Structure 1
Amino acid sequence: MRQRFQFDPVDAVAHLRATDPVMATLTKRVGPFALKLTPSHSLFEALLRSIVYQQLHGKAAATIHGRVLAQLRQHGGPIPEALIRVSDEALRTAGLSRAKLLAVRDLSAKCLAGTVPSLKDAGRLTDAELEERLTEVRGIGPWTVHMLLIFTLGRADVMPTGDFAIRLAFKQLYRKRIDPSPAVILRHARCWQPYRSVASWYLWRHLDTP
């Protein structure tokens, strides 16, 4: 399923440029907003990937994720019902740690119980409501939910203050002598609303754009 932004990126960038001189300079240096949403057929599929990728990078994470999906495909595909049919031994052999095995089991249970909504139902929930429900899943914290909201659901106004790169970029761009607290970032980010997701993307790009 192809996700779409819940906002107009052109309007978002225009708003950031009009309300914040530093952001205006940054958006011109980085260029057009070019975030690519990660397609997903369900929140189960998206969160499963998030759990597998935790504390791993690149090839290792992709390999383990591929092995887990291969196990699920033998039992109906990337759906919670399929995960129930896969043995612990098969998932451990695929590369899941004990903690991640417990997390994906809990994810499956929470999906079947309705705590984790369908994509359609998620569209009717606010960011805060989704965060409250999804963080009930073992191993899923606010940062993971914020990444899901931005990169999978295309929500407009997410401010992931728990992200180290966001804090570092903010410190550099706004010339802070000490590491900014979430409260400091949120206070400044009021001028970015309702497009804090777009501002966040530009903060990330600041760190890898000369």
Structure 2
Amino acid sequence: MPPIAPENPAPYRDASAHLAGVDADWAWLVATVGPCTHAPKPAREPYEALIRAVAYQQLHVRAADAMVARFLALFPEAPFPTPQQILATAPEALRACGFSTRKVATIQALAAGAASGLVPGREEALALEDDALVARLTALPGIGRWTVEMFLIYTLERLDILPVDDFGVRDGYRRLKSLPAAPGRRELAAAGDALRPYRTIAAWYLWRVPKDKTPAATA
């Protein structure tokens, strides 16, 4: 699908209107949160986007920011290192940036995949279907479905991705629907059918469900 230009928010307006029409809960959420300001980063190459996603896994943003900054400082001659530069870097140097042993192995696998063509370039990735990219990239060690879904959302600007394993999405849906517990992945996937073809924007809103949502708001 073609990139969405920041100056053309029409798809987001259409998505918000669609979601507001799903039911009273979604109408309340869209009205409460307001217009969607989803901000993808389409200029990044897939391997860079995936490496950044790996860096931020299970870390607070500030800690991950510092770790990525130390990583980039290893390669001052370029905005982001090439796969070959990463492969030529000793694992100990990557560990010194703060990456765990598992993350170092994943970063090296991504660099090797980019060098071999397993990790597609941007133009090839844009031409591939979501499921094909998920299958291809999750074959790499340390790359799970969630990481690929974040790549689809933020780098390829896909509008119909619902990351059902994401804690924030699941907990947001629990609060939105006043459920006693977060839904399972199958339950949330089924609920997502009504949100098509804008499940990415639905996830954006679910990440922002107010924590103090009151019963009166759901009436």
Common fold, TM-score beyond 0.5?
yes
Q: Which residue of 2 aligns with 1:164?
A: 167
Q: Which residue of 2 aligns with 1:140?
A: 143
Q: Distance in 2 between matches of 1:64 and 1:39?
A: 22
How many pairs align? 208
CA displacement at 1:76 relative to structure 2: 8.8
Q: Distance in 2 between matches of 1:175 and 1:198?
A: 20
Q: Which residue of 2 aligns with 1:48?
A: 51
Q: Distance in 1 between matches of 2:153 and 2:210?
A: 18
Q: Given the superposition, is the C-alpha separation of residues 62 and 56 from structure 1 closer, same or farther in structure 2, using an over 3 Å criterion? A: same
CA displacement at 1:209 relative to structure 2: 8.0
CA displacement at 1:158 relative to structure 2: 0.4
| Residue 109 (structure 2) pairs with residue 102 (structure 1) | no
| Residue 219 (structure 2) pairs with residue 200 (structure 1) | no
Of residues 180, 185, 192, the one that matches 2:183 is 180
| Residue 83 (structure 2) pairs with residue 80 (structure 1) | yes
Q: Distance in 2 between matches of 1:54 and 1:133?
A: 20
Could you tell me which amino acid in structure 2 is paired with residue 90 of structure 1? A
User: Are 1:160 and 1:166, in contact at CA under 8 Å, matched by a contact in 2?
Assistant: yes
Q: Distance in 2 between matches of 1:171 and 1:56?
A: 23
Q: Distance in 2 between matches of 1:173 and 1:75?
A: 44
Gap regions ≥5 residues in structure 1? none
CA displacement at 1:119 relative to structure 2: 0.9
User: Are 1:19 and 1:192, in contact at CA under 8 Å, matched by a contact in 2?
Assistant: yes
User: Are 1:35 and 1:201, in contact at CA under 8 Å, matched by a contact in 2?
Assistant: yes
Q: Give per-residue Cα distances to partners, 1:147-189, cap 9 Å, x unaligned.
A: 2211222111101110112111212222323431111112121
Gap regions ≥5 residues in structure 2? 214-219
CA displacement at 1:27 relative to structure 2: 0.2
Q: Which residue of 2 aligns with 1:113?
A: 116
CA displacement at 1:132 relative to structure 2: 1.0
Query: What TM-score do the two structures reach when normalised by structure 1?
Result: 0.89
Mapping 1:4-23, distance limit 5 Å: 4=4, 8-23=11-26
Q: Given the superposition, is the C-alpha separation of residues 64 and 185 from structure 1 closer, same or farther in structure 2, using an over 3 Å criterion? A: same
Could you tell me which amino acid in structure 2 is paired with residue 72 of structure 1? F
Could you tell me which amino acid in structure 1 is paired with residue 81 of structure 2? P
Could you tell me which amino acid in structure 2 is paired with residue 71 of structure 1? L
Q: Distance in 1 between matches of 2:73 and 2:63?
A: 15
User: Are 1:157 and 1:193, in contact at CA under 8 Å, matched by a contact in 2?
Assistant: yes
Q: What SS does the corresponding residue of 2:75 show, helix, strand or coil?
A: helix
Q: Distance in 2 between matches of 1:76 and 1:35?
A: 24
Q: What SS does the corresponding residue of 2:161 show, helix, strand or coil?
A: coil
Q: Distance in 1 between matches of 2:196 and 2:22?
A: 10
Q: Distance in 2 between matches of 1:176 and 1:209?
A: 14
Of residues 32, 37, 40, the one that matches 2:35 is 32
Q: Which residue of 2 aligns with 1:123?
A: 126
Q: Which residue of 2 aligns with 1:58?
A: 61
